[in-house]
Amino acid sequence: MKVNGVIFLCLLAFVPQSFGFNALIITNGVAGHVIPMFELAKGMHDHNITFLTDRLAETYIDFKTYPNLSSFRLIYTNDSIEALVDQKKMAREMSEYFFNHSLLDSLIHFMPRMIQSMNLLLNKIVHTLMMERFDVIIANRFIFGINALCKEANISCVTLTPTVMSSMTNINQPNSHSYLTSKQMSELKYRIYNVAFAVRLLLSVGKKIIPVINLLSKSFPQVPGPFFNTFTFKNIFLTKSKCLNIINVPPTLYPPSDSSPYTRYMGAFVDESSISDIDNELTRWIKSKSNNSIIYVAFGSSALIRFDRMKSLIYGLGEFLFQTTTASVLLAFRNFNYDSYRTVLDEMVNVEYKRIFLDEQRVKVENQFLDQKWILRQHRVSLFISHCGMGSVTEGLYFQKLILCLPLCNDQFPNAFMIDQLGVGQSLFVPPSPWKLLLRPNSFHYYTFTASSVTIKLLTMWRNSTYEKAARIMSLEIKHAGGVKRAVEEIEFFVRSNGDLDRYVPFPSTLPFYQRFLLDIIFIYMILPMAIMFCVFMKCCKRPRKEKKD
């Protein structure tokens, strides 16, 4: 391993520039973050790639599948077996907690351990930068302080955002957590509500975030060397670095709010050429079905479905299958979810439902990792029941599948809401009323749904031409955005432009606030003349009147 590392360093130093530039790709080991990063790395196989991540990543990715291993190097923050066990344990504990608490409460609860993990990653990055020179750093947007580090090292910075939500400070757009539509935001009453909700959410966050900020300020890594003072609040939050922000979500899933040349919507990172067509019992089962006849049910690598939700889902599916004899279901349940499903099936009293679920020709159950991209690419799959993590959403929409959302935590709730609004699927989560949401902004994680709602929503979407047309258009938009290929082209152009795209910034955006909104023109042509006229009028009114004397 050490010999390979020495050889790789020699190649970096002596290989001609025609082979491309040297890129450092950084991400944590969470599936939703590391998978799109590795897809991007594979698209950059003509360049020298150093991939830095947690060892947890090997749970989801086979790094040996990289197309050009001679120009690829993998670095773990800690490559020991004990580190892998600890990371898996932490991921499991976080999943259990996140799926039963709000995002804010979960972050506060796990912040000490998350800071420890982040510091380990940042220390590894700093040591790597002190040993080697890179042309570009490509990092997950959630890597804390990467903008300040890139500026200090004088390296082009690219960030990858696996999800995007409206800013709480942009009151002209619906707040992602207020569940308002773009149409509603054109009405005054909802604009007023949106501001009130943003203030309420900021106040609720502020009460809990102060101890976290204090803990964070005392935990910044300080590695002796040129980057010793890089990680400070001043540098991290006040550094104006020119980072190219690549957003790998559909450009119309959320209303775009940024026209900056440093922001690019690339759609889904799906490389269809790397999806292999294997022959096994599952693939033969799928291929034996007719087109648009399969409902695929999967909830990611770590999602946990509570028993009451699992029971409602299975009974709802049972009624749908009873009414739709041509439909089949593929259930991809792992670990806890599989055990929960078996318990529901064992306790099932409806004889017809139980007969359907025990019929392997109608219902196929898999308790292992599946190639989701291959499954979604099949024309035999019509519907996708998902937790609506952004990775699953983009893959499902890319392959033109309608989605029934069962969100569990974090960004999954806004994703489900937008899918329902855009008509490419429906959601089992119904947002609370605006008043309830204003009083308790984070109380909706404990929502419930009935078996009948599952059946009704499935029957509504099944072979529905309106939904199918909306999914087809969304799929075209995602593919038109360019995906991995376009992202690689943008990164190459950005690096060769020395990380500076200021010349592409729209001229109005370069103006100061008062000029952008014509306040200086309004002052000269309206306020100033009115002020002069008012002064003249008042002076005339105060002039003493001449009295006529007899």
Q: Residue 81 belongs to what domain range?
A: 2-168+220-267+483-507
Same domain flag for 414 and 284: yes
Query: 549 pLDDT band (50/70/90 cuts)?
Result: low
Tokens of 442: 């984070």
Cα–Cα distance measured from residue 283 to residue 275, given in angstroms and rounded to the nearest whole number? 13
DSSP assignment of 171-203 equals TTS--TTTT--TTGGGSHHHHHHHHHHHHHHHH
Q: Is residue 101 part of a domain?
A: yes
Phi then psi for 70, rounded to 5 degrees? -70, -20
CA distances from 149 to 27, 219, 237, 325, 495 (A): 15, 16, 12, 59, 17
Q: Assess whether 130 and 52 both reside in one domain.
A: yes
Same domain, 399 and 433: yes
> In this model, does residue 170 exceed pLDDT 80?
no
Tokens 């939904």 belong to which residue?
Answer: 467
More confident position, 167 or 379: 379
Spatial distance between the Cα atoms of 247 and 483, rounded to a whole number of angstroms: 10
What is the share, in percent, of the chain residues with pLDDT greater than 70? Answer: 91
Structure-block tokens of residue 538: 């008042």
Q: Are residues 162 and 126 in the same domain?
A: yes
Could you tell me the end-to-end alpha-carbon distance of the chain, in angstroms, rounded to an integer?
118
- State the pLDDT at residue 274: 79
Q: What's the confidence (pLDDT) of residue 499?
A: 87
Q: Residue 275: its pLDDT value, please? A: 84
- 382 and 490 assigned to the same domain: no
For the ranges 179-183, 201-205, 396-400, 473-477, the lowest mean pLDDT is seen at 201-205
Q: Please report whether residue 156 resides in a domain.
A: yes
Q: Is residue 199 part of a domain?
A: no
Q: Lowest-confidence range among 122-136, 258-272, 281-295? A: 258-272
Whether residues 472 and 491 share a domain: the answer is no
Q: Which of 149, 146, 172 is nearest to 160 (CA)?
A: 146
Q: Once rounded to an integer, what is the mean pLDDT over residues 437-460? A: 88
Q: How confident is the model at residue 18 (pLDDT cuts 50, 70, 90)?
A: very low
- Cα distances (angstroms) measured from residue 64 to each of 5, 271, 276, 299, 313: 16, 16, 15, 26, 38
Domain assignment present for residue 212? The answer is no
Statement to judge: residues 436 and 498 lie in one domain = no
Q: Who has greater pLDDT, 465 or 435? A: 465
What is the reported pLDDT for 4?
56
- Residues 339 and 470 placed together within one structural domain of the fold: yes
Same domain, 250 and 136: yes
If one counts the domains in the chain, the total is 3
Same domain? For 229 and 142 the reply is yes
| Rounded mean pLDDT, 315-341 | 93
CATH number for the domain that contains residue 358: 3.40.50.2000
Residue position matching structure tokens 């773990």: 76
**Can you give the pLDDT at residue 434?**
83
Type of residue numbered 64: K
Confidence of residue 91 (pLDDT cuts 50, 70, 90): confident
- The pLDDT confidence band at residue 543, using thresholds 50, 70 and 90, is low
Q: Report the 10 Å Cβ neighbour count for 547.
A: 5
- Indicate if the pLDDT at residue 546 is higher than 60: no
* Residues ≥6 apart with Cβ < 8 Å to 240: none
pLDDT tens digits, 40-80: 999 999 999 999 999 999 888 889 888 888 899 999 998 88
- The reply to whether 317 and 446 lie within a common domain is yes
95-109, 278-292, 490-504, 522-536: least confidently modelled range: 95-109
pLDDT digits (tens, 9 = 90+) for 114-144: 878 888 888 899 899 998 999 999 998 888 8
Same domain, residue pair 298 and 310: yes
| CB-neighbour burial class of residue 292 (10 A; exposed 0-12, middle 13-18, buried 19+) | middle
Q: Please give the model's pTM, rounded to 2 decimal places.
A: 0.85
pLDDT band of residue 13 (cuts 50, 70, 90) is very low
Say yes or no to pLDDT of 412 above 70.
yes
Q: How far is CA 203 from the centre of its chain?
A: 25
Residue-wise pLDDT for 228-249, tens only, equals 788 777 777 777 778 899 988 7
